[in-house]
Amino acid sequence: MWFWRLKTSLSVSFRHIRKCTTYTKARQIWEIISSKPPENGVPLKLQGWVRSIRSQKEVLFLHLNDGSCLANLQVVGTPDMGTSDLTFGSAVHVEGRLLPSAHPGQEVELHADRLEVIGPCNAKEFPFKAKKRHTMEYTRQFPHLRARTNSFAALLRIRSQATSAIHKFFQDQGYVEVHTPVISSNDCEGAGELFQVEPASSTVLKEISEDSGKETKHFFDVPAFLTVSGQLQLEVMASALSRVYVFGPTFRAEKSLGRRHLSEFYMVEAELAFTQTQEDVMEVIEMMVKQPTEQILASCPDDLHLFYKFVSPGHREVVEKILTSKFIRMTYTEAIDILRKHSENFKFRPEWGHDLQKEHERHLVRHCGSVPVFVTDFPRDLKPFYARDNGDDKTVAAFDLLVPEVGELFGGSLREERLETLQDRLDRLGLSSSYQWYLDLRRYGSVPHGGFGMGFERYLQCILGVPHIRDVIPFPRFPHSCKM
């Protein structure tokens, strides 16, 4: 009994201590700037990086940013806090009281009681300078530091919100997220632009051979590659779950150094079972462009304003037109006819049966009033083996979505669900032995289905108006460049 009374007494005492103790934890600027503190202030801690310093005879002004939002918070201190380590770019810890600000450009400011430099910064050698606007081409030289610039930090916050918005779209529509493999034995696109995966040391293969009792040339016993698409694996899951999607990294060993290509990038791919027409898939794509974009515009107004004012003036109107317009549909044959009428304007002459070049894609979008346009029913030889045959002996139910300035943003198709048709096509391509599992999907409960893929970085280019794809990904990978 005495033990129980002691335990109860201690419990009451600890609860009383918790109620009486004030815990002041560091807060982020995004939540601080929305505060309305009382006149006597609110005690708080803040950590961040110095964006500007202004020292006067009786007062020291700092602007701090912690990356949580575009806005800086003004810190008011005393001149003796301004040590030699306190420079532009240095990391600091501040304790003080949050008070209403008399400055017309801000609601609150932090009056510092204590300021500590956590990490000094040599401002003369630091590649970014205070109050100077740096171009994206310049900041691209410093992938380890460019997140410290306003524009790239804003990009990363927008990218995060875009990721969340896309996931929310699919979840709201009843799709199941699937983690498809990064390492695959299939070349989904059939273009051969693959990164092969093998151990860095031949000793590993030797050990595997000794363990199995037979010599092997490959870690997985078959050639394996970094994935170019999760589509084939998504088809497997769609045959049981109906609606599935993946949002993950993909890899292409293209030699291109162009503004639209990367060796590593992110893809959003989806598969829909029981889909009868291209229109069914295109309607999902149109919703997927519009709904997440509207959410991004609502959740990132300050970051987007920075891009639309300094990086891509006037692009907000382009985005608004995308959101308010019905996307146009035209067949590949109709597109070629339009292009032929203006063939004198092109470096590459438009010909039926040839891929659309970037200049052709841009012209078609301009021809349609700068509204996104679906080009449907491509020649069979231009699309992968899985695209559904239209029955005219020349085209398949495959499409691309072209958008202003970027060109191709989505690619999609109905998938060939008919066993005999698919078997014949794989036989002609010499791929039957590699895709028996794919044929099994058609043998056991096959249904009409379709899907699409979207390059996430191209989507960001589309909504931000950023010309170069290397400026919308944290660590760009391309030929001759794999920094960090």
- Each residue of 306-345: pLDDT tens digit? 999 999 999 999 999 999 999 999 999 999 999 999 888 8
Residue 301 has pLDDT above 90, yes or no: yes
Mean per-residue pLDDT for 118-137? Answer: 93
Q: What is the pLDDT of residue 221?
A: 81
Q: Which residue has the higher pLDDT, 477 or 36?
A: 477
- Each residue of 37-52: pLDDT tens digit? 877 788 999 999 999 9
The span from the CA of 255 to the CA of 478, in Å, is 8
Can you list the positions of beta strands (E) in 361-466? 373-376, 398-403, 407-415, 449-455
Residue 18 has pLDDT above 50, yes or no: no
Q: What is the pLDDT of residue 426?
A: 94
Q: Identify which of 129-133, 195-199, 454-458 has the greatest average pLDDT.
A: 454-458
- Each residue of 201-219: pLDDT tens digit? 888 888 888 787 788 888 8
Q: What is the pLDDT of residue 191?
A: 56
Q: What is the pLDDT of residue 207?
A: 81
Report the CATH number of the 29-131 domain.
2.40.50.140
Q: What is the pLDDT of residue 9?
A: 47
Can you list the positions of beta strands (E) in 219-365? 225-226, 243-251, 264-273, 328-331
Domain boundaries, the chain: 29-131, 148-193+228-471
Q: What is the pTM of this model?
A: 0.91
- Each residue of 154-173: pLDDT tens digit? 999 999 999 999 999 999 99
CATH class of 148-193+228-471: alpha beta
Q: What is the pLDDT of residue 179?
A: 97
pLDDT grade, residue 116 (50/70/90)?
very high
- Each residue of 74-113: pLDDT tens digit? 999 999 998 889 999 999 999 999 999 887 778 899 999 9
- Find out whether 389 and 380 touch, Cβ atoms under 8 Å: yes
Residues in contact with 387: Cβ distance below 8 Å, sequence separation at least 6, in sequence order: 378, 380, 396, 397, 398, 413, 414, 415, 416
